[in-house]
Structure 1
């Protein structure tokens, strides 16, 4: 089946700039309040190692990924401590209908431990809670380039629209998955710029597979577009900054028992005793990318987390 099938589209996106003449999703003041409320609750979840708090402030894919992160920390007893954001800047688009959403740029930690966030919050219907849907960690300041109108509001770009762009935002997941599966020569892969999350990630995975084979373990991996809706905002240069998700399915096998172990990111997802000669895992990967008016899309942010594992 073609990877181009089933690309998720943003709701209510009929034109090139979705909701360009609509009303703001919420006021900037309320958006900042949502970010603060989120930080307080998710900080408690990390400090208490209590994943039951996450549904109050998160939705998928973020909730599934952070639930797996809490399970990992429960095993190690590593509490995160309370979450504090600095340099918070909210980006509120004009939208028509629901679901509504907005973005926020923020920094957690300080010094060498500082981490930049590209937060994406959604509201499914009127009076529903605002929940964090995605939080890829960008290496640059992509959100600083979002275009704002005279009133300070952003413009949402339809996932299905390629008008004025090198590619439509909704085509990014399939192109990225094809590159990671088949390499830079895959159909559509040339739409993505080379870098650590594209061509270098493909090469690194092949090196890992080769190294595992030498130790008696076979790894097969397959990427596909995730079910999360693609969200995009117009940038000042006419491009778009885009949030999207990929799903990675991994299958490990070994001829001899003892070769496979539950370690690293998989801890807490499957009992070590359940793995003998086969292990299957599911990984979710959030990305933040910038699509220019001309040229290749650059992937600047990522949050990767294994969310399921089973063995036999």
Structure 2
């Protein structure tokens, strides 16, 4: 039986909807704890100008992969007008290495071992549970906790549901586990099979209350899910095109009308626009970069669409164009820079993971980003 999430891993207070957060506010108190399988992410107020100083740290979206593919700039876009394409690529290949019941046992063990590693801030232990960007983000979170001299909350998410796709040459063996704690969050984990065992490759959380339901996953006659490659057709855009379009919207701080309103799309864009405007008034520039990294993974949904998981590295660079005003980062980025004010340049790099529902071709429904995981990787300043 799944253990409950310990009290310290729960929210300290009822969170406000992400859309209510105003980055101009100067208060720096945390308003939300986002828990990913026990890991706590604290989202803070973003930017405020006062008495000659800018305090800025907003990480616009507070939820890795087997392949370490080179980062890709978000240049491709979702087609503005979908065109009729070939039949959707099929993922119903060889029988996977595990059944759904076996995959659930794998994930239950993963949760227990991850929780223990988090309690001890054990880099070596978590290195046997995660890989790629996911591992890098968790280790960065451990380092931030050490610098804060604080704990990382640990716990086990209840109500696990698992979907196992058939094996393909492109994706190998992998599966998705989804957990939901009503009033707290819904979490999705992507685990992949490697030569050293199963490893977490991606994870996302959605803390909206009530949290929107995930679309139903399509399964075949044997109960296996259908894996789609990153170039799969039959959707409003291929999985890779959708990922790149989302990242391009954030990088340019420009709303993409093909995506539904939400904390990781329109709200994030507005926050960047507000921060950029405030920085410019104070004589600073803001440059953003979002680069796709690792594999894009997708499962067919019962409506003919797809759930798509993708990861990115983002870098935000604030550069002074005239003297007289300083910038101090906030949140984890501030911890990494010992809360120092910077007069010339301040930068922060984040790991980011998302899950999005892409409707089938011909649908009038928007693309919905349905969760994320973000953690600072490094920050610097002069």
TM range (shorter): 0.7 to 0.9
Give the secondary structure class of the aligned counterpart of 1:24. coil
Q: 2:297 aligns with which of 227, 231, 247?
A: 231
C-alpha distance in 2 between matches for 1:267 and 1:149: 49
Change (3 A) 1:60 1:18: farther
Structure 1 segments of 4+ aligned residues over 4 angstroms from their partners: 141-144, 255-258, 271-276
Aligned to 1:103: 176
Compute the RMSD of aligned alpha carbons: 2.9
Q: 2:276 aligns with which of 196, 200, 209?
A: 209
Q: Does 1:252 align with 2:318?
A: yes
Q: Mark the runs of 5 or more structure 2 residues left unpaired by the alignment.
A: 1-71, 77-86
Change (3 A) 1:76 1:106: same
Q: Does 1:60 align with 2:132?
A: yes
Post-superposition offset of 1:79: 1.7
Does the CA contact (< 8 Å) of 2:205 and 2:373 recur in 1?
yes
Does the CA contact (< 8 Å) of 1:142 and 1:290 recur in 2?
no
Post-superposition offset of 1:168: 0.7
Aligned to 2:243: 173
Higher relative contact order, chain-length normalized (CA < 8 Å, sep 6+): 2
Change (3 A) 1:184 1:92: same
C-alpha distance in 2 between matches for 1:68 and 1:230: 23
C-alpha distance in 1 between matches for 2:283 and 2:134: 31
Q: Mark the runs of 5 or more structure 1 residues left unpaired by the alignment.
A: 6-14
Change (3 A) 1:49 1:90: same
Aligned to 2:287: 221
Q: What TM-score comes out, normalization by structure 1 length?
A: 0.84
C-alpha distance in 2 between matches for 1:111 and 1:178: 32
Give the secondary structure class of the aligned counterpart of 1:41. helix
Give the secondary structure class of the aligned counterpart of 1:137. strand
Change (3 A) 1:111 1:174: closer
Does the CA contact (< 8 Å) of 2:215 and 2:357 recur in 1?
no
Post-superposition offset of 1:20: 1.3
Post-superposition offset of 1:205: 0.9
Q: 1:93 aligns with which of 139, 147, 165?
A: 165
Does the CA contact (< 8 Å) of 2:311 and 2:353 recur in 1?
yes
Post-superposition offset of 1:253: 2.9
Aligned to 2:145: 73
Q: Does 1:50 align with 2:122?
A: yes
Give the secondary structure class of the aligned counterpart of 1:236. coil
Give aligned pairs, total.
296
Aligned to 2:11: none
Q: CA deviation digits over 1:51-103, x for unaligned, max 9?
A: 33221100122111111211222222332343212000111001224532110
Aligned to 1:151: 222
Post-superposition offset of 1:194: 3.0
Aligned to 1:182: 252
Give the secondary structure class of the aligned counterpart of 1:224. strand
Does the CA contact (< 8 Å) of 2:292 and 2:311 recur in 1?
yes
Higher helix proportion, which one?
A: 1
C-alpha distance in 1 between matches for 2:340 and 2:271: 29
Aligned to 2:84: none
Post-superposition offset of 1:157: 1.1
Give the secondary structure class of the aligned counterpart of 2:154. coil
Q: How does 1:108-119 map to 2 (within 5 A)?
A: 112=183, 114-119=184-189
